Amino acid sequence: MQIAPSILSADFANLERELQRIADADSAHVDVMDYHFVPNLTLGLPIVEALQRVTPIPLDCHLMIDDPDRWAPAYAEAGAASVTFHIEAAADPRSLARDIHAAGAQACMALKPGTAFAPYEELLEVIDMVLVMTVEPGFGGQSFMADQMPKVREVREAIDRRGGRIRIQVDGGVSASTIEQCADAGADVFVAGSAVYGADDAAAAIGELRRLATACVHH
């Protein structure tokens, strides 16, 4: 069970310090937005390169951008441990996953809440993780969409059926009150923004989220 705090909820003027606050998490979730795929603009490659130089934990880059086929491999080259592209935006996801792997990162595909998983099940052959969005991508602090849990279950069943070792990540409104539903459904990587960065003690919040998730054994 991995906790990946989202720096979308961090203090952007002090990102090095904010990464240190989450040093005992499994990775730092970095939300890249381009004002096209989503109606927000956050940070891009130069900031990721700077974060990579100072981060105590691996970077997990979530690219909410158009044309990831063109832009995503550069994030792997910059040192991100994992690069997530949106399936809705990728022209050739198989080839993109190959390019991300060739650049040294894990490849992950993300699904918006309105996107069905079934048409993309075959891509489990080439990716390392599936991100099921539990809010509409674009902004932090939104409330959790429990109606995405059947999709998480569907992905878990498909992975189990294929015998793969593919992780399932959930992102959006994940907190102490929602993480157990996600773990029960089969998720094993949890992105939490305000639940960690809004806490007085980020390390304690990470520990509590991990404890709650671990207590839910997959059925």
Closest by Cα among 142, 120, 140 to 131 = 120
Domain extent for 119: 2-215
Q: For the segment 83-122, what is each residue's pLDDT rounded down to a tens digit?
A: 999 999 999 999 999 999 999 999 999 999 999 999 999 9
Closest by Cα among 136, 69, 135, 141 to 107 = 69
| Predicted pLDDT at 216 | 85
| Predicted pLDDT at 142 | 86
Q: For the segment 140-172, what is each residue's pLDDT rounded down to a tens digit?
A: 888 999 999 999 999 999 999 998 899 999 999
The CATH number for 31's domain is 3.20.20.70
Task: List active site positions.
Answer: 31, 171
pTM: 0.96
Total number of domains in the chain: 1
